[in-house]
């Protein structure tokens, strides 16, 4: 049975609202530290933070939220974010190219970002699983692994098709077989859903309403 502290330490405490202001990011970091989260995840324009995070990791996004950026643009954005203090990059793939059957492009764009931000930077690949068929989810996961990514991630939280599902997490976890991490994000707003994702194979969670989830309530947002 997952404890509150164990669940908290899987969380990327997230603030990706377009209206987010610097003071909100400072408050996010303080709340993440209080709750025992693993990291905070903010937009690249918020970097550098100018606030000490202690043991918290700093994650940001790349090609967000549409993924319709060139591989070179995504690579530059990721590298700039790392130069400004990011420990982890959550990049969005071009799902249109993947759905058109061009998994080679997916692998190439992930590799471009990977080469721009080598280890120890952690690279997570957002595949928008709710917009994909099972075969496309498998193809995206295989491309991420082949390109050297560290994680596959369900969703941006902004796509109209929806966010994470237990089915998608289980399929992603089966495909990567423990060789990559699996991040569930998008629409996880209560304890039952969060722990169901973990039981299905999620090794990280993207939450904006972290406190409400940990307290057993229901949150709004990401």
What's the sign of the alpha-carbon dihedral 152, 123, 69, 98? negative
Catalytic residue among 12, 90, 94, 150: 90
Identified catalytic residue from 74, 94, 124, 183: 183
H helical segments located in 100-215: 103-116, 134-146, 166-176, 191-200, 210-214
Question: Residues for the chain: how many in total?
Answer: 222
Pairing of strands 11-15, 57-62: unpaired
The strand pair at 57-62 and 88-92 is best described as parallel
The reply to whether 153 belongs to the active site is yes
Instruction: Check if 68 is active-site.
Output: no
SS3 call for 64: coil
**Full DSSP string of 115-141:** HHS-TTSEEEEE--GGGS-HHHHHHHH
Q: At what angle do helices 134-146 and 166-176 cross, to 10 degrees?
A: 40
Q: Is residue 90 among the annotated active site residues? A: yes
Nearest residue to 29 via CA among 59, 5, 6: 59
* CA separation for the pair 189, 91 (Å, rounded): 22
Please list the active-site residues. 90, 153, 183
């Amino acid at each position: 049975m997952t404890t509150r502290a164990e669940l908290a330490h899987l969380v990327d405490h997230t603030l990706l609202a377009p209206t987010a202001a610097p003071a909100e990011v400072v408050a996010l970091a303080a709340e993440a530290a209080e709750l025992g989260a693993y990291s905070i995840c903010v937009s690249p324009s918020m970097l550098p933070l100018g606030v000490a995070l202690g043991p918290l990791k700093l994650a940001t996004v790349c090609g967000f939220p549409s993924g319709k950026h060139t591989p070179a643009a995504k690579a530059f954005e990721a590298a700039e974010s790392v130069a400004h203090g990011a420990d982890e990059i959550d990049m969005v793939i071009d799902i249109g190219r993947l759905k058109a059957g061009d998994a080679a492009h997916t692998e190439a764009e992930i590799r471009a970002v990977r080469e721009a931000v080598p280890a120890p930077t952690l690279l997570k690949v957002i595949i928008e699983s709710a917009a994909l068929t099972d075969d496309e989810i498998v193809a995206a996961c295989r491309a991420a692994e082949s390109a050297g990514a560290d994680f596959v991630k369900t969703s941006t939280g902004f796509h109209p098709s929806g966010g994470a599902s237990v089915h998608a997490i289980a399929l992603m976890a089966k495909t990567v077989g423990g060789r990559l991490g699996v991040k569930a994000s998008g629409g996880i707003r209560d304890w039952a859903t969060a722990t169901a994702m973990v039981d299905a194979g999620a090794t990280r969670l993207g939450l904006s309403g972290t406190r409400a989830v940990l307290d057993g309530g229901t949150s709004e947002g990401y």
